Amino acid sequence: MIVLIGGASHTGKTLLADRLVKKYGYACVLQDLLKMGLIRSGNTDIDVCDTDALRPYLWNITKEIVKTAVENGQNLIVEGCYIPMNYREYFSRRYLDQIRFVCLVMSEQYLRNHFDDVKAHANDIERRMDDDVELERLIRCNNYFLARCRECNVPYLLIDEKYCLDWDIE
């Protein structure tokens, strides 16, 4: 089984991945770690902030990791904001039968009411350097992900009134 966890920054993708790893014992790939490894090793000169260039670059690598895991019968969790909502277009039925996907999205209301909490929990799983998160940027990003989820008809977990990562791979 392959589990893909997408969504905007600060929604809890890594937290959900961590919980699922502990529950199921699956291996896990964090796209941010892959990104930094490629950048620091000099295997790409894409700037760490160039999301438009990073998304296709990282997805091209990630989708081949997913295919390899399926072919080898391995269980894997992949989390990151670089998973496209149209991910299905990149896989044949053979692979799609083994993939579960969820996108984490925070509503504008949730972000406006809990922005201080979102910032306070930003380092619960990973230590973010120079994390100058801005409310309006988070709202725009989450609205974008929600619209793409609906457009591509993919499952999403809407965090609206309280923060709850009640999602399971079954």
Is position 61 within any domain?
Answer: yes
Is position 170 within any domain?
Answer: no
Is position 153 within any domain?
Answer: yes
Q: What is the pLDDT of residues 109-149, one digit of tens each?
A: 999 999 988 877 766 666 655 567 789 999 999 999 999 99
Is position 164 within any domain?
Answer: no
Is position 165 within any domain?
Answer: no
The pLDDT, as a whole number, for residue 19 is: 92
User: Residue 39 above 80 pLDDT?
Assistant: yes
Instruction: Give residue 118's domain range.
Output: 2-159
Is position 140 within any domain?
Answer: yes
Q: What is the pLDDT of residues 78-93, one digit of tens each?
A: 999 999 999 999 999 9
Tell me if the pTM is above 0.85.
Answer: yes
The pLDDT, as a whole number, for residue 122 is: 67
Banded model confidence at residue 161, pLDDT cuts 50, 70, 90: confident
Cα 63 vs. chain centroid, distance in angstroms? 13
What's the number of domains the chain is made of? 1
How far are the Cα atoms of 70, 84, 123 from residue 52, in angstroms, in the given order? 28, 12, 25
Is position 167 within any domain?
Answer: no
User: Residue 24 above 70 pLDDT?
Assistant: yes
Rounded mean pLDDT, 97-119: 93
Is position 42 within any domain?
Answer: yes
CATH code, domain carrying 11: 3.40.50.300
